[in-house]
Amino acid sequence: MSTTTDAQTRYNELRSTIGGFTVEGRAHSLSAWFVLALRLVIGFAFLYSGVEKILGGFAAQGYLGNVAAANGNPLEGMFLWMSQTPWFIEFVNVAVPWGETAIGLGLIVGFMTRLAAFFGALMMLMFYFGNWDMAHGPINSDFMYMLVFLSVAAFGAGRILGLDTYVEQYEIDGQALVEKYPQLGYLLG
């Protein structure tokens, strides 16, 4: 009996059903360390990139106007519109460096982790199309970073040595915050 108990404590059961299709498996308990490492590494990468852009200056117009047109991008028209729309350029010039910084900080401290990971994945999707190049196939580093962000969100990585653990358990009228407001589970964790 102790062997079964030992095995059960070493593994976490995973199960999900989407559209009637169920996948399931077991993750070793050490996986928590790797999920934490993913959160910290992608957080540091985004924090570093954002701070570098803030301190060094950032201008999106040239990138938006030139990169998509030069590489057969299926969203070429959208990127061209972005590069020719002054209010959008101003928005991107602020949103990218400060967004990367906020996403990185959120992931490093594990606060509003799912929200940060969602916006990180969205940015990486835009970079994926902006850096479109099929020379080596459809999977590039931008696509892989997007998957890292989605994994961080899916595993609730902010609950592993992160502030989300404490925020979720904060009590209001004797009830944990995420129990009282379950929709916060989409932002925290």
Average pLDDT, the chain: 88
Evaluate if residue 8 carries a pLDDT over 80: no
pTM of the predicted protein model? 0.85
Read off the pLDDT of residues 131-153 as tens digits, 9 standing for 90 and up: 887 777 888 899 999 999 999 99
Q: Are 177 and 148 in contact (CB under 8 A)?
A: no
Choose the weakest-confidence range: 18-27, 70-79, 153-162, 174-183: 70-79
Which residue in the block uniquely carries the two structure tokens 């990585």? Answer: 157
Q: Average pLDDT of 31-52?
A: 96
Evaluate if residue 1 carries a pLDDT over 50: no
Evaluate if residue 72 carries a pLDDT over 60: yes
Query: Quick one: pLDDT at residue 29?
Result: 83
Q: How far is CA 187 from CA 27, 77, 101, in A?
A: 24, 32, 18
Query: Quick one: pLDDT at residue 185?
Result: 83
Q: Are 107 and 117 in contact (CB under 8 A)?
A: yes
CA–CA dist 74, 157 (Å, integer): 33
Evaluate if residue 18 carries a pLDDT over 50: yes
- Of the pLDDT bands very low, low, confident and very high (cuts 50, 70, 90), residue 37 is very high
Query: Quick one: pLDDT at residue 6?
Result: 54
Evaluate if residue 43 carries a pLDDT over 50: yes
Tokens read off for 79: 């990127």
The secondary element (H helix, E strand) that includes residue 35 is helix 31-56
- The angle, 0 to 180 degrees and rounded to 10, between the axes of the packed helices 31-56 and 141-154 is 120
Q: Which of 54, 68, 152 is nearest to 99 (CA)?
A: 54
- Of the pLDDT bands very low, low, confident and very high (cuts 50, 70, 90), residue 3 is very low
Q: Average pLDDT of 80-105?
A: 95
**Percent of the chain residues topping a pLDDT of 90:** 54
Q: Which of 90, 155, 92, 148 is nearest to 124 (CA)?
A: 148
**Percent of the chain residues topping a pLDDT of 70:** 93
